[in-house]
Amino acid sequence: MVSVALPRTIFDESHDAFRDVVRQFVAREVVPHREEWDAAHRVDRSLFRKAAETGLLGVTAPERFGGGGVDDFRFHAIVTEEFARVGATAESMSIGGENDLIAPYFIAFGTDEQNERWLAPMLAGEKVGAIALTEPGTGSDLAALTTTARPDGDEFVVSGAKTFISNGLLADFVIAAVRTDPEAGHDGISLLVIDTDTPGFDRNGPLHKVGLDAQDTAELFFTDVRVPRANVLGGEGKGWRHMRHNLPIERMSIAITSMARMRATFEQALAYATERQAFGQRIVDFQANRFYLAELATEIEVTQTFVDRCILDAAEHRLDEVTAAMAKWWTTELHQRVIQRAVQLHGGYGFMREFPVARDYLDSRVATIFGGTTEIMKEIIGRRLAR
């Protein structure tokens, strides 16, 4: 394999040892099952249990709830990178979703009782969780959500719908963003943990996407679902600020995935270009191709440096929403440019699914959309600049 990667300096020996464990796990427990899970449009539940047994779930969560007790985001970044490196992006979203989307809400805002009920069994691989923010009519505009939770004594009565929910079919519980006070704007939004066996809860799926076949994606429906008020996560009316607190890590996870995938895709395209002959010479010997490769190699290394800085910021709890937005939009958009050139270098073979570059072409397109579109990321950055 041809490589132009520069050495990375943000990891120490403990991270390297953990990476070896993750890499072996992915080779043993993920890669052999990818076609099977693609056909089923979801991973097998055993993946969560095996990941828990290997220590891949909740490394940063408190030990008393079954976590690793190591407050270092770099370990979660390694899990994401190693799944993405082999093209297991869909499977990474299942495991990474629990590490980087769901567990942080419980760690930051959950009571001991809530964490014993939902976080602990999730980290043990016994329960699967999901985060339900996006709605059919709102997309990236989370402030416009319309799912309501009407107070009724010691309960809320939840009505509404969510869509594009990862782990939506497998989930035993969901953290749903709901409007508990229709008149209070942002202060009327709360996070509510809802068990999926509650009467009135329903789901539809799997949704058939362009790529990410093994990533379980569903629509959720709430029809007068009665939920105890004790299931509110982090206090009533505080859901908006809690989402703003946690969304940077979600966006960072997306950026890390795109970074790892684009590196792998670039390496594959470079290796192909050095081996493939056309018109009596290697593809890489055409000056236009060398220039394209030189440009992308440089942009990849510059971007990796920025992403690594963001990973360190996240590990030290200094990652803010603007920096995460920068990382998310820049990395996912560069990923698209890398893929376009990689497919072109492969010629017709780049359009064949048995080639990893074709799979990356399908799986990566949504990265500029979910977690907040590129346009929303620029809006977040622009608003901060305008202030």
Nearest to residue 216, comparing CAs of 59, 382, 94, 84?
A: 94
* CB distance 233 to 227 below 8 Å: no
Residue in 126, 250, 275, 299 annotated catalytic = 250
Q: Which amino acid is at 162?
A: K
Separation in Å, CA 208 to CA 164, 205, 211, 251, 366: 10, 8, 8, 23, 13
Q: Give the C-alpha distances (Å, rounded to integers) separating 14 from 20, 27, 72, 245, 297.
A: 10, 20, 11, 28, 29
- Collect all residues with Cβ–Cβ distance below 8 Å to 355 and sequence separation of at least 6: 346, 349
Angle between helices 321-346 and 374-386 (to 10 degrees): 140
Q: What are residue 225's DSSP bridge partners? A: 158
Q: Which tokens sit at 212?
A: 């990410």
**250 classed as catalytic:** yes
Query: Which residue carries 């960072």 as its tokens?
Result: 252
Q: Which helix (H) or strand (E) holds 111?
A: none
Q: Which of 26, 175, 150 is nearest to 92 (CA)?
A: 26
Helix/strand/coil for 91: helix
- Report helix, strand or coil for 131: strand
Quickly count: other Cβ atoms within 10 Å of residue 90's Cβ: 25
- The candidate with the shortest Cα–Cα distance to 134, out of 174, 185, 171, is 174
Those residues with Cβ within 8 angstroms of residue 183's Cβ, 6 or more apart along the chain or in another chain: none
- What burial class does residue 31 get, using C-beta atoms within 10 Å of its C-beta: 0-12 exposed, 13-18 middle, 19+ buried? middle
Where in the sequence numbering do the catalytic residues fall?
250
